[in-house]
Structure 1
Amino acid sequence: MRGIRATSKSDFSFRKLFKGAAAGFVATVPMSISMLVGWRLLPKREKYPLPPRLITEEITERVGMEDRMSEDELVGLTVFSHFGYGALFGSIYALFSERLPMHSSLKGGLAGLALWAGSYLGWLPAVGILRPATRHPWRRNLLMILAHLVWGVTLGEVTRKLITQDEK
């Protein structure tokens, strides 16, 4: 059987997961930049730490590690977990993105909004890690919604490019 590539369904899914994780990781770069720029534009009273830091602080406190970590370690863990979260949800997105018949930027943007809503109105408040978005100032919510749109649109485009490489 010359010319036939032997791949299993699970191999294809693994490649898709990996490419989605890479795309989610890459998409977290412009997202993080937009968050930092947006944070600098907030009024002084709203310039408390951004959600990735608040989430990391809460989790390290719950597991008894907050007092054992230096500021540099906490910053490093915040960055690591933020990029890891982006990669995780990028891989999930990649599994389902081809099933939605719309432009990759739109699909990705919707995925970013869904991730924001599911996280900031859903599971994070449900488990007591973060107050719901409805209890944060509107400017901070706008900042985070826009950052998730940046993440999602970037995710959609990078995922499309990585996955279409398999088709060539």
Structure 2
Amino acid sequence: MLRHLVNGAVGGALATAAMSTVMVAGQRAGLMRDQPPKRIVRAILPGHPRKPKPGEGVLGTAAHFAFGIGSGALFGVLTRGRGRVPLGVLYGLAIWYGSYAGWVPKLTTMPPAHRDRPGRQAVMAAGHVVYGLALANALTRLGRRAAEAA
């Protein structure tokens, strides 16, 4: 179980990096103004939830990776380290939906997905698909390495 947890956490870190690439590309393409993790941190930090705060970019990135690593660790344990691509994609989309139709709007930093700017939610949904794909592939590769080492 510990191996699945650790492999999932490593996979979650790699998957978050892949997802972040999609998010940065979406921002550069003009589909979203700034990164949602940064906006979420802005809402959580003391002060006005919509006014920029010092360090929010770094804290947003750290929080995003922490969430991605934790989610990857959970996936690794739940799937017993079996990185099945369809399950990874569904997992990524479930995280997107649960976040952007659930707890993120409650912070009042962003509207629910169905009322948000279509470009941002398209980027975020695509990013979460990439997260799920990368997570499943990482778990598959890490599982193969463990089996070869045994």
Length-normalised TM-score, structure 1: 0.76
For structure 2, the 5+ residue unaligned runs are: none
Matches within 5 A, 1:1-168: 13-42=1-30, 47-61=32-46, 70=54, 73-98=55-80, 104-126=84-106, 128=108, 130-168=110-148
Aligned pairs, how many?
147
What is the CA RMSD across the aligned residues, in angstroms?
2.5
What residue identity is the alignment partner of 1:150?
V
How far the C-alpha of 1:129 sits from its partner, in A, is 5.2
Residue 119 (structure 1) shift: 0.8
Give the structure-2-normalised TM-score. 0.85
Unaligned runs of 5+ in 1: 1-12
Q: Cα 1:99–1:79, aligned 2, differ >3 Å: closer, same or farther?
A: closer
* Residues 28-74 of structure 1: CA deviation (Å, up to 9, x unaligned): 111111111112223xxx64222111101011136x9x88x63xx22
Percent same amino acid among aligned pairs? 29
Name whichever of 85-94 and 120-129 sits farther off: 120-129
Deviation sequence 1:13-38 (CA, Å, 0-9, x none): 22211110111011111111111111
- The one-letter code matched in structure 2 to 1:15 is R
| Larger of the two Rg values belongs to structure | 1
